[in-house]
């Protein structure tokens, strides 16, 4: 039975309606998407690490993005698969907070990496002669390290503050995973400070990076327009086309998920949450591999090696 009115709880409950006759199909669908996402992102990391031609700042950031996407999808889908198999919507309080923390860390890291990659493309297109000097290995490593540190610390503070709240009456989460804003909505104690912190960090660590991406691409578009030859314009745009697609997909699904969840729970919020947490990490490797000759070449060489062909 679900707990009644309490000042503390031991479980939360997901709202992911699945009919009995759809259970096997939904399980197979999510298992397939999860395996594709894991294999795709792992191959991208392996190809970049094994090919010396891809040891450049752009592919260094891409390998980190693939690792982050792999971790992001692994925080939500395995628990969903277990829930479908066991026909249980429950998740323990400690497991929910743990999932919430790591999901927030990897989502925040995705945001930072996309911003850093936009800056990398800005330097490559707008300052090509100084690219090697500006985007040095030391700076690239420092940017990634700072992104990890900020993500871990920010999400740790918010998770520790969420642990101080009490939950009662309604324990139903709008998504199929534990997300910080959704958990805060279920608190029966005053969560004003928590909400202020969420809005502040969203503005500081979410909106500002997004504005940085927009600024970078404004400068990039201005530089491309000034290129005289059509071939030069195409070459310049092709270097950032994949990243632009990923940025559009990432922020589009983020906005869709939280805008749909601002109203009552519906299939729209469920679909939006699946798009953001599952579909996006799955599609990113395909976007980069299909639009990038270097990645396709590295993957072909990787697969054709004796260790893979045996």
The CATH number of the domain holding residue 273 is: 1.20.1070.10
Q: Is residue 9 part of a domain?
A: no
Contacts from 208-216 at CB under 8 Å and sequence distance 24+?
209/111, 209/112, 209/114, 209/115, 210/111, 210/115, 210/251, 212/115, 212/118, 212/119, 213/114, 213/115, 213/118, 213/247, 216/118, 216/119, 216/121, 216/122
Each residue of 293-307: pLDDT tens digit?
A: 778 887 888 777 765
**Owning domain of residue 196:** 19-309
Q: What is the pLDDT of residue 173?
A: 76
Q: What is the pLDDT of residue 106?
A: 94
Domain count, the chain: 1
Each residue of 172-222: pLDDT tens digit?
A: 777 788 888 778 777 777 667 777 887 788 778 888 899 999 999 999 888
Q: What is the pLDDT of residue 41?
A: 93
Q: Is residue 11 part of a domain?
A: no
Query: Is residue 140 predicted with pLDDT exceeding 90?
Result: yes
Q: What is the pLDDT of residue 306?
A: 64
List 167's β-bridge partners, or say none. 187
- Separation between Cα atoms, residue 48 and residue 246, nearest integer Å: 18
Q: Is residue 5 part of a domain?
A: no
Q: What is the pLDDT of residue 2?
A: 42
Q: Is residue 10 part of a domain?
A: no
Strands 90-92, 11-14: parallel, antiparallel or unpaired by DSSP? antiparallel
Q: Is residue 54 part of a domain?
A: yes
Each residue of 228-238: pLDDT tens digit?
A: 777 666 766 77
State CA 194 to chain mean position distance.
23
Each residue of 94-120: pLDDT tens digit?
A: 888 899 999 999 999 999 999 999 999
């Amino acid at each position: 039975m679900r707990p009644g009115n309490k000042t503390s709880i031991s479980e939360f409950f997901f709202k992911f309606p699945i009919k009995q006759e759809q259970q096997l199909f939904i399980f197979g669908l999510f298992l397939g998407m999860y395996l594709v996402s894991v294999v795709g992102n792992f191959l991208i990391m392996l190809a970049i690490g094994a090919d010396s031609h891809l040891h450049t700042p752009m592919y260094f950031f891409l390998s980190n993005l693939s690792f982050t996407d792999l971790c992001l999808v692994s925080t939500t889908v395995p628990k969903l698969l277990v829930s479908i198999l066991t026909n249980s919507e429950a998740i323990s309080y400690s497991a929910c907070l743990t999932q919430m923390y790591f999901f927030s860390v990897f989502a925040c890291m995705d945001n930072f990496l996309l911003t850093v990659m936009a800056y990398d493309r800005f330097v490559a297109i707008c300052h090509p002669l100084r690219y090697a000097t500006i985007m040095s290995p030391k700076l690239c490593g420092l940017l990634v390290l700072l992104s990890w540190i900020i993500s871990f610390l920010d999400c740790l503070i918010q998770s520790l503050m969420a642990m101080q709240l009490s939950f009662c009456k309604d324990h139903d989460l709008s998504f199929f995973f534990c997300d910080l804003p959704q958990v805060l909505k279920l608190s029966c104690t005053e969560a004003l400070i928590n909400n202020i912190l969420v809005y502040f960090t969203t503005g500081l660590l979410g909106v500002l990076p997004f504005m940085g991406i927009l600024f970078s691409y404004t400068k990039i578009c201005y530089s491309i327009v000034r290129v005289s030859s059509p071939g030069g314009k195409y070459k310049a745009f092709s270097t950032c086309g994949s990243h632009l697609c990923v940025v559009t997909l990432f922020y589009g699904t983020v906005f869709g998920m939280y805008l749909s969840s601002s109203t009552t729970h519906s299939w729209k919020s469920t679909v939006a949450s699946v798009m953001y947490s599952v579909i996006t990490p799955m599609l990113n490797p395909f976007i980069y591999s299909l639009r990038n000759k270097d990645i396709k070449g590295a993957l072909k060489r990787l697969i054709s090696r004796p260790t893979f062909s045996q």
